[in-house]
């Protein structure tokens, strides 16, 4: 891992991945519109599954290392990989939805945290900061920069706002596999790490916590929660590095 085997994509491959990303962003738009108090996390997954079917694409997560659903749906203190089930979404919850699809053999990966009903000002701030941290990280994803420029931009912003960066999960390269090299931590130092090149496609995905950065695994073997049970947010885009700079494919 690290930077050992990074597969550069041709403009044609990136065009295919852009189409995949457009479809995935459309599915998220539908989920965002449908999300309501009283839905279960399984209902969220069912919308994702129906949209995947209607778009004629594949589900990237289902069956991946035995994962049982299309989407990961993580509520409040759940950081990532929440398994959809009978849990009801209630007013004031924040819900992190992570979804990957396969389109013409190419993967696309995206996540966002949404508020249910009226959320607290602290929750609102956490969402805004995590979304903005991703945006600032993406802005550094250009030829000539190093991976540490992306990572440190995310970290500096989120920590500067008083939140913590999850270390136990990282972003990744993406292409004909869901997880390709390099790993993309959301913490690091500027001007360190591998050199970023045209043709790299990266899934950048900061997970930001209101309290401690530490996580623990629930007994289901998938769901990661914050160790102090404070809130967590997660935003992810699949991004291509081009000679014109970063291009968000999942837009």
The residue ranges that bind Co ion (CB under 5 A) are 109, 203
State the Cα–Cα distance between residues 154 and 158, nearest whole angstrom: 6
Closer Cβ to Co ion, 146 or 172, answer by number: 172
Closer Cβ to ligand MF3, 47 or 184, answer by number: 184
- The alpha carbon of residue 133 and the mean position of all alpha carbons in its chain are separated, in whole angstroms, by 12
Q: Give min distance, CB of 203 to Co ion, in A.
A: 4
- The alpha carbon of residue 235 and the mean position of all alpha carbons in its chain are separated, in whole angstroms, by 5
Determine which residue in the list 6, 31, 48, 72 makes contact with ligand MF3, applying CB under 6 A. Answer: 72
Query: Is residue 88 a contact residue for ligand MF3 (CB under 6 A)?
Result: no
Determine which residue in the list 5, 64, 122, 218 makes contact with ligand MF3, applying CB under 6 A. Answer: 64
Determine which residue in the list 28, 61, 103, 235 makes contact with ligand MF3, applying CB under 6 A. Answer: 61
Which is nearest to 164 in space by CA: 195, 208, 220, 121? Answer: 208
Span of 15-23, 65-73, 127-135, 241-249 interacting with ligand MF3 by CB under 6 A: 65-73
Which is nearest to 178 in space by CA: 92, 38, 28, 58? Answer: 58
Residues that bind ligand MF3 (rule: CB under 6 A) add up to a total of 13
Closer Cβ to Co ion, 81 or 146, answer by number: 81
Closer Cβ to ligand MF3, 13 or 109, answer by number: 109
Q: Give min distance, CB of 157 to ligand MF3, in A.
A: 21
Q: Give min distance, CB of 168 to ligand MF3, in A.
A: 11
Closer Cβ to Co ion, 109 or 140, answer by number: 109
Q: What's the farthest any 2 CA atoms get from each other in the chain?
A: 48
Site for ligand MF3 in 156-175 (CB under 6 A): 172
Environment class of residue 136 by beta-carbon count within 10 Å: exposed (0-12), middle (13-18) or buried (19+)? middle
Cβ(151)–Cβ(185) below 8 Å = yes
Cβ(150)–Cβ(170) below 8 Å = no
Site for ligand MF3 in 170-229 (CB under 6 A): 172, 203, 205
Query: Is residue 109 a contact residue for ligand MF3 (CB under 6 A)?
Result: yes
Q: Give min distance, CB of 64 to Co ion, in A.
A: 11
Query: Parallel, antiparallel, or unpaired: how do β-strands 106-115 and 94-103 relate?
Result: antiparallel
Span of 61-69, 115-123, 146-154, 207-215 interacting with ligand MF3 by CB under 6 A: 61-69
State the Cα–Cα distance between residues 72 and 242, nearest whole angstrom: 30
Of the chain, the end-to-end C-alpha distance in Å amounts to: 28
Q: Which entry of Co ion, ligand MF3, none binds 81, CB below 5 to 8 A by partner kind?
A: ligand MF3
Residues 60-86 as b or e (16 or more Cβ within 10 Å = b): bbbeeeebebbbbbbbbbbbbbbbbee
């Amino acid at each position: 891992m690290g930077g050992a085997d990074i597969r550069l994509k041709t403009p044609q491959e990136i065009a295919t991945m852009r189409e995949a990303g457009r479809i995935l962003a459309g599915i998220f738009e539908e989920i965002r519109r449908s999300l309501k108090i009283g839905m279960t996390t399984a209902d969220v997954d069912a919308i994702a599954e129906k949209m995947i079917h209607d778009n004629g694409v594949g589900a990237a997560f289902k069956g991946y290392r035995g994962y049982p659903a299309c989407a990961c749906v993580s509520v409040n203190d759940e950081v990532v990989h929440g398994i959809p089930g009978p849990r009801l979404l209630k007013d004031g919850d924040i819900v992190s939805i992570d979804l990957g699809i396969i389109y013409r053999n190419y993967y696309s990966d995206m996540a966002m945290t949404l508020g249910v009903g009226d959320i607290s000002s602290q929750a609102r701030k956490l969402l805004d900061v995590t979304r903005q941290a991703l945006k600032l990280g993406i802005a550094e994803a250009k030829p000539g920069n190093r991976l540490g420029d992306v990572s440190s931009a995310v970290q500096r912003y989120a920590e500067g706002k008083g939140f913590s960066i999850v270390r136990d999960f990282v972003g990744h390269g993406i292409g004909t596999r869901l997880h390709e090299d390099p790993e993309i931590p959301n913490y690091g130092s500027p001007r360190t790490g591998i050199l970023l090149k045209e043709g790299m496609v990266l899934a950048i995905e900061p997970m930001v916590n209101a309290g401690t950065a530490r996580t623990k695994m629930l007994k289901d073997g998938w769901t990661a929660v914050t160790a102090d049970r404070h809130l967590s947010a997660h935003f992810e885009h699949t991004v291509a590095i081009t000679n014109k700079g970063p291009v968000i494919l999942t837009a």
